[in-house]
Amino acid sequence: MSVKVGDSVSEGTVIAISSDAADAADDLSQDAVQVAPETVSETDVVVATRDAVVDRDSVVAATEPATDEHGTADGLRATPLVRRLARDLEVDLVRVSGTGGKGRVTKQDLLAHYEGSIVTEHGTPSGMGIPPIPEIDFAKFGPVRTMPLSRIKKISGPHLHRSWLNVPHVTHNDEADITDLDAYRRELDAAAKEEGYRVTMLSFLLKAVASSLRTFPVVNSSLAGDELVLKDYVNIGVAVDTPDGLVVPVVKDVDRKGITELSRDLGDLSARARDGKLSAGDMQGATFTISSLGGIGGTAFTPIVNAPEVAILGVVRSKMAPVWNGIEFEPRLMLPLCLSYDHRVIDGALAARFTVHLAHLVGDVRRPVL
């Protein structure tokens, strides 16, 4: 220090000599300090601006030994502040490209690297700067076996990961009384068996969802920048469980078809999905998706929105439950409904209205076919 606390100095006056002053200067305001010319070898000179008053707390002490004008013993060029921030963020500075003088890594370089998509050594994006899960040698704890992922899971995995990271998911849960509808469905299914197809509850759900999407067109949209793309067609993807993983064939023009035609379409798509005979066109163009676990069980779940769609309906196994009818409790067959949606497009009130409307439709056997 060449001045004392409280001294007033003029522009150009030397106030301190620091071995890492050039690095510290990167983190101070450019109009508050200047870095001395490169003619200074082992040290750099901090120069005060006009009418500046020296304060002892403003002097930054070097915390790491320097071996050259800008770097340190490990060969990296970065200020102590940047190094400390890199440690906090668990970022390896060797992987960060520096844009500062002589390749120095600045704070902006570090943050840009952190906020970008970090690619793991397997080539899978970890996304949004999230550190990858560390690899563990499980064989140290007991016998293990390895099994390669199926082709379907290799394709669907990155898409699900991308949707989960990019879409702010919220799930709204409700129930629908399907007592009367299921009785009617059983009558239709008995007749359909003789003709070689089945009528499942999913056929009625497709029809009811299509009607609901027409009533609430925002749920049948996609987000494109600052605009919503409202689709005047209704194609609904249906998640099908196959031995190799989940596939989502698309039933086209659902709003224009009846229960019989939808049932035949579902049977055809499901059979081809299980046999691995779906074409690319069979799995494209959906505006909404239904994922049904009704044949397996469960009480509720959170399906992942199939972006760029903005909502997906999950259904699980229906169950008999006591429902108050105003006079007494009576057993009713209740179907849980789980609507996951993109909160950037759909707010909670719209999600609730959509689900209540859907439950209202399937609650009366006459409404879904209207």
Active site residues: 343
Q: Residue 171: which residues within 8 A CB-CB, separation 6 or more?
A: 302, 303, 314, 338, 339, 340, 341
What's the full length of the chain, in residues? 370
User: Residue 173 is which amino acid?
Assistant: N
Helix 179-193 to helix 201-215 angle, to the nearest 10 degrees? Answer: 120
The alpha carbon of 43 is separated from its chain's Cα centroid by a whole number of angstroms, namely: 48
Q: Tell me whether the omega of the peptide bond preceding residue 217 falls within 30 degrees of 0, making it cis.
A: no
| Residue carrying structure tokens 């209704």 | 234
C-beta separation of 339 from 348 below 8 A: no
Give the separation between CA 316 and CA 336, rounded to whole angstroms.
6
Compute the radius of gyration of the chain from its Cα atoms. Answer: 32
Output the CA–CA distances (angstroms, integers) from residue 123 to 126, 132, 149, 324, in the order listed: 9, 11, 15, 56
Output the CA–CA distances (angstroms, integers) from residue 267 to 259, 263, 368, in the order listed: 12, 6, 20
Instruction: Look at residues 187, 155, 241, 214 and name the one whose alpha carbon lies nearest to residue 365.
Output: 187
Tokens of 42: 């082992």
The SS3 assignment for 264 reads helix
Q: Residue 7: which residues within 8 A CB-CB, separation 6 or more?
A: 53, 54
φ and ψ at residue 10, rounded to 5 degrees: -105, 170
Helix 80-89 to helix 107-115 angle, to the nearest 10 degrees? Answer: 10
The SS3 assignment for 209 reads helix
CA dihedral over 253, 258, 263, 265, signed as positive or negative: negative
Q: Residue 228: which residues within 8 A CB-CB, separation 6 or more?
A: 218, 221, 222, 345
